[in-house]
Amino acid sequence: MNKSKFSYSNLIYVILLILVLVWTLLPVYWTITAAFKSRLEVIAWPPTFFPQKPTLNWFVSVWTDRPNINYYINSIVASIGSTIIALALGIPSAYGCARYTFRGRQDVLFTILTFRFLPPATVIVPLYLIGRMFHLIDTTLYLAILYGAINVPIVTWVLLSYFKEIPVELEESYQLDGYTLFGAFRKVTLPLARPGIVAVSMLIMAFSFGDFLIASILTTSPAAKTLPVGISEYMGGEWGYMWNQMAALTIYGLIPLLIIFFLVRKNLVRGLTFGAVK
Amino acid sequence: MRKLNLGLLLSIPALIYLFFWLFFPFLYNIYASLYYWTMYNPNIKFIGAGNYIAAFADIDFRNSVFATFFYTVICYMVELPLGLGIAVFLSRDFKGVGIVRLLIAIPILMMPIGVSVMWKLLTMPKIGLLQYFSEVLGFGVIDFYGNFWFASLLILLIDAWQWTPFFAIVLLAALLSLPREPYEAAKIDCASSFMIFTRITLPSIQPVIVIVSILRILDLMKLSDPIFTITMGGSGTETLSAYIYRVAFKPLDIGYGGAVAVLYWILMYVLANILVRRFRSVIQ
Amino acid sequence: MSEPKKVGRRTFLNYAIAVVATGVIVGAATYFAAPKAVETVTAPGTTVTTTKTVTTTVTGTPTTSPTTSPTTSPTAVPWEIYFPRADRILSEWELKWTGWGAKYLTKTDWVRSIDWGKIKPRFSGETVTMACEGVDISAPQTFKPAFEGLTGATLQLFGIPTETFHEKLMAEFTSGAGRYDTAELFGAWAQDYFPYMTDIRPFATQYGIDLRDIHPVFRMMNTGPNGELLGLVEDADLHVFIVRKNLLEKAGLDVPKTWDEVLEACKVLKPIGEKEGWYPWIIYFCAKGFLTFWYWENIALQFKDVTLTRPDSWEPNFIGDEEGGVRALEIIKELLKYSPPGNINNTYELGREQWLAGLGAMATSHQCWPRQSFDPGLSKISPLTTDNIIEIHPYPQGTTRREPCNWTTTYLGIPKTSKKQELAFLWSVVMCSQESSLLMGSHGTGVESGFVSVISNPEVWKGQPAYKAVWESAWTAATEPFVYIPEAYAIEEAAGAEIYRYLEGSVASAKEALKNAEDKVRSILQKAGYLEAGKKPPPYTVEEFCKLHNEVNPKP
């Protein structure tokens, strides 16, 4: 790894860096400024780079005009709930498939993977009917259940590699010391696999937080509606596209995930190799 | 013997859960696909393969299959190299690299609906910033919403914007975990950086590339968000997911929707099978 | 290796627990602090009208409508303070624009004609519920305080998303739970609700209300087979033709009256628009599917040979014996050349956004565009802040004139299962009376008045300029016959997809596209059994409707 010293290749790298950053951040910047502009200024021509009269009005009004705070909380609850469910189901199955070879192991793994490519649009109607039967419509519980189900495959597949990487001998040595299998698992395997667990948890949270289709069909009221649904409610009505409010809500929605990402960033480095780098 | 069963046992809760919540509802589609069945009409008629024949006969269905593959391929072919390039780039150590890595991750953390809306604002004729740049550069107004090629470009832009960081971060993590020894040895042997990259780096992270590629490809086959935001499925951009939504879900045509859903699933199954089998050795 | 990791994990867990705990606390606090969020969307403790419209003045400061101020006039009854009135409902710029103040615009108004003194003791303390479609429930919210003040009862509003609204209501009505005392019913699905709704004519007689003041166009979709009226009309919308007169005048053009004139005007305007950064036309909506069909049929109905179904049967007639339907489709393809690029895939909100941003010189739309064009906080072309002149005219004609009135009525139905039917009726009166509906139209809630006495009143035209054009057009109204059957959506979607192919260029001839559309629709109708002998659609022109019910069709 070279420390920076001036050379043409470094200059190129800096230019590329700037390009990448601009490309990544321009839409984010645009979202942020849209949340500060007035309704008319958002659609001004030529577009303005800096809001002429920045206002915090939208950041406040999205909380008071509509029950977005409920939507926000529901999103967070559903995300956390689904992460817990997916981990609770995926970790054992990943461990089982990693440690033990049994007949049908490949099939089990592939079957779990097949659930990954189920387009939500194909199951949403039956899920609505089932939900109605069990009185699950309009509950964050149902969202957590379904998001959890959708994300079990990725937990299994990612942690599969991790668990395989952790040598069985470590667990066995703990077991010799008197720990049960489960105890050894908790003491040594889980901590070593922590980066992977953290990484998939981030992915699950990002997915659950941002899902729109399932939430829009299966929720009806502020008791369970999520933030993406809340954002969608700002378009298509009598006022057309309410850019400012949508931008403000998008920014609000970004913050929790960004904070969590920041907190766990060190873990992610090891975590996202999918355990596949030897 | 006990060891054999324990592995299966550990996987059973997950399997049961998935079957109950995802597969069992999907069976409903298989059942419904054999009937003429709309939610508002009580006259349900058994028509066997009628829905399937109608699907194959429908030019919109065939086009949507093509569109789905088209977008999957072009998005993947852009996102992977771009992500890899960014990852290589960010694996170097320079001042502020931590911040840059954090900033790069932002697109994945943004809600897709917020992302789509913002791209809409950026591309509306005579309103959007990108249109402004285009006019200033002399290209005039770009038809992002009605022209197949520009709409596809925009779809690619939106998807690449949001998901290239996914590749970038995962591959970055992989690069950072590579052991040093092979590199030092290569340096001693005076290998060029190109050779180092292709002979040492790439093969080491190949398993990661394969896994993340399979995941992304399967997700791309379900693409629908940008389609709805930009063209509502018009101008030939309708993917299978969008097609099902428009033709079966909104008019509450359960029978036909079921048939298309089954065909969709078969398509995905075949594709996933091919991908996993081909690369099984690499990832397992 | 274990030491630093242990610390790391603990800190992480601490953070996580803190976040989750905060979330739980905040969530619990919100849940208990706010009234049952399921039922109302008002902030806790609010009883005055603070309609949170999102209009802002150009400088960026928000304007909210004034709170209800108790001004009594000497000769009024004690409950006069609750009557909906301009200064109590409209926002500052609207009052300035219209010049209305503390006065009533209508001569006859149901709310003012009722003796609330006798009613209040009977209903004080009771609760009545309403199911509202969608999330924008500002219209009912505007009149909630008035109702509660006049009757002493409490109103609970449930906002239900549009996509699932129909299904939820049907489930509710068939289960007989009686949860909603009244519901906003979309005219397009009116037939589905008929069996479950109460006929309000007896209530109307009881309170001396003359239902015929509602223009027959807006009673077409909520009148039952035996003349029962299944609810008062909340929203009564028709299509209009909106133009920026200043742009036409600069080009030396008159306002077009026919579609041919529209196309000619577009041709003249195009080069001018290119220089100045606007387009001659904006397509309201055209996205592949039912939107394409709606846009096409509105124009196709202007050709007298196109009736969408043959007389006396459900057999589709899209092409027309003189190929009027073909002409209509070709007109749209022409219009696309004069519209902003990408308009072929326009949806409601995109078209509106483009119009309010000043991208177009002419367009056809519902009445909301005109009203919003004047709003200085929403529109870049407002005559109040720019030198644009906006005029609203009747729909351009073809070989005949039929005002398109598809999907344009929302009414308040009272389910038979409701235990508070009389109270629910009174609520619907408060929200749907002449003065109330007029004020809603002027307040830009997107809800329009459908009373003859209102839309024909020139004073009212000041606050909703579209009403003049509506009054001139309503007597010719005709809708699509398929709205009367549940297969409507599937029919419109299938036909629209076929028509779209001509517009996008994959089918070369408009006639062929229409023929394919007819075939698709025919097969849907056949499978559903409508093509059997003797079946024909109910009357779908207002003229036929009036004849059937022995009414006079109000003409200007």
| Separation of alpha carbons A43 and A28, rounded Å | 17
Which is more confident, C441 or C68?
C441
Which is more confident, B284 or C541?
C541
SS3 C229: strand
Nearest-CA neighbor of C303 among C293, C317, C291?
C317
B30-44, B189-203, C381-395: range with lowest mean pLDDT: B189-203
Question: Which amino acid would we find at residue A96?
Answer: G
Q: Phi and psi of C280, rounded to 5°? A: -65, -30
Query: Least CA distance to B60: which residue of chain C?
Result: C497
Cβ neighbours around C227 below 10 Å, total: 12
pLDDT digits (tens, 9 = 90+) for B12-22: 899 999 999 99
Mean of per-residue pLDDT scores for chain A: 84
pLDDT at B157 over 90: yes
Nearest-CA neighbor of C528 among A180, B193, B45, B85?
B45
ipTM: 0.86
A140-149, C257-266, C284-293, C442-451: range with lowest mean pLDDT: C442-451
Task: Provide the shortest C-alpha distance from residue C448 to chain A (in Å).
Answer: 12
Cα B48 to chain centroid, rounded: 33
C344:B146 CB<8 A = yes
Cβ-based contacts of A258 with chain C (< 8 Å):
none
Cβ-based contacts of C504 with chain B (< 8 Å):
234-236
Which is more confident, C135 or B225?
B225
pLDDT at A221 over 80: no
Cβ-based contacts of C287 with chain B (< 8 Å):
231-234
C77-86, C170-179, C380-389: range with lowest mean pLDDT: C170-179
Task: Provide the shortest C-alpha distance from residue B247 to chain C (in Å).
Answer: 7
Domains (ranges, CATH) in chain A? 55-274 (1.10.3720.10)
- Its pTM stands at 0.85
The H or E element spanning position C26 is helix C2-33
Calculate mean pLDDT across residues B43-52. Answer: 85
Chain B CB within 8 Å of residue C194 CB: no
Cα C289 to chain centroid, rounded: 20
pLDDT at A253 over 50: yes
Here the tokens at position C376 are 């200085």
| Separation of alpha carbons C64 and C524, rounded Å | 49
The pLDDT assigned to B3 comes to: 53
CA atoms in the 13 A half-sphere facing the CB of C163: 20
Question: Which amino acid would we find at residue B110?
Answer: M
Cβ-based contacts of A24 with chain B (< 8 Å):
103-104, 106-107, 161, 165
pLDDT band (50, 70, 90) for residue C17? low
Here the tokens at position A154 are 């990725």
pLDDT digits (tens, 9 = 90+) for C404-463: 887 678 889 999 988 899 999 999 999 999 999 988 888 877 788 889 999 999 988 888
| Separation of alpha carbons A59 and A150, rounded Å | 33
Task: Give every CB contact of residue C203 below 8 A, 6+ residues apart in sequence.
Answer: C209, C421, C422, C425
Report the residue from C288, C289, C342 with minimal CB separation from B144: C342
Cβ-based contacts of A236 with chain C (< 8 Å):
347-349
| Separation of alpha carbons C426 and C204, rounded Å | 10
Report the residue from B29, B110, B215 with minimal CB separation from A254: B110
Residues 237-276 of C with CB under 8 A from B: none
pLDDT at C11 over 80: no
Here the tokens at position B250 are 């909104």
- Residue A146 to residues A81, B20, C104, Cα–Cα distance (Å): 10, 11, 54
Nearest-CA neighbor of C446 among C293, C170, C154, C237?
C237
Residues 40-99 of B with CB under 8 A from A: 86, 89, 91-95, 98
A212-226, C156-170, C221-235, C253-267: range with lowest mean pLDDT: C156-170
Calculate mean pLDDT across residues A98-105. Answer: 77
When computed from its CA atoms, the radius of gyration of chain B, rounded to whole angstroms, is 23
Chain A CB within 8 Å of residue B173 CB: yes
Chain B CB within 8 Å of residue A149 CB: yes
pLDDT band (50, 70, 90) for residue C516? very high
Q: Which of C56, C235, C369, C372 best tests the A interface by mutation, with the highest count of A CBs <10 A?
A: C56
- Residue A229 to residues A211, A250, C312, Cα–Cα distance (Å): 9, 11, 45
Q: Which of A239, A258, A261 best tests the C interface by mutation, with the highest count of C CBs <10 A?
A: A239
| Separation of alpha carbons A227 and A222, rounded Å | 10
What does the buried/exposed string (b/e) look like for A166-195 if buried means 16 or more CB atoms within 10 Å of the residue's CB? Answer: beeeebeebeeeebeeeebbeebbbbbbbb
Phi-psi region of C308 (alpha: psi -120 to 50; beta: other; left: phi over 0): left
pLDDT band (50, 70, 90) for residue C80? confident
Sign of CA dihedral C469, C474, C480, C483: positive
Please return the burial class of C351, using the count of CB atoms within 10 Å of its CB with bins 0-12, 13-18 and 19+.
Answer: buried
Strand-pair partners of C223:
C229
Q: Which chains touch C (3 or more CB pairs under 8 A)?
A: A, B
Calculate mean pLDDT across residues B112-139. Answer: 91
The H or E element spanning position A77 is helix A68-99
Report the residue from A39, A216, A267 with minimal CB separation from C378: A39
Which is more confident, B252 or B72?
B72
The pLDDT assigned to B162 comes to: 93
A215-219, C152-156, C510-514: range with lowest mean pLDDT: A215-219
Cβ-based contacts of B205 with chain A (< 8 Å):
276-277
pLDDT band (50, 70, 90) for residue B4? low
pLDDT band (50, 70, 90) for residue C20? low
Domains (ranges, CATH) in chain B? 35-283 (1.10.3720.10)
The answer to whether C358 and C236 are in contact (CB under 8 A) is no
Chain B CB within 8 Å of residue A264 CB: no
Task: Provide the shortest C-alpha distance from residue C300 to chain B (in Å).
Answer: 22
pLDDT at C51 over 60: no
Calculate mean pLDDT across residues C33-38. Answer: 37
Report the residue from C30, C135, C377 with minimal CB separation from A233: C135
Q: Which of C270, C338, C345, C484 best tests the B interface by mutation, with the highest count of B CBs <10 A?
A: C345
Task: Provide the shortest C-alpha distance from residue B238 to chain C (in Å).
Answer: 10
Calculate mean pLDDT across residues C267-292. Answer: 93
SS3 B184: helix
| Separation of alpha carbons C201 and C210, rounded Å | 9
Task: Give every CB contact of residue C236 below 8 A, 6+ residues apart in sequence.
Answer: C214, C215, C217, C218, C408, C409, C437, C448, C449, C450
The pLDDT assigned to C72 comes to: 40
Q: Which of C162, C192, C288, C498 best tests the B interface by mutation, with the highest count of B CBs <10 A?
A: C288
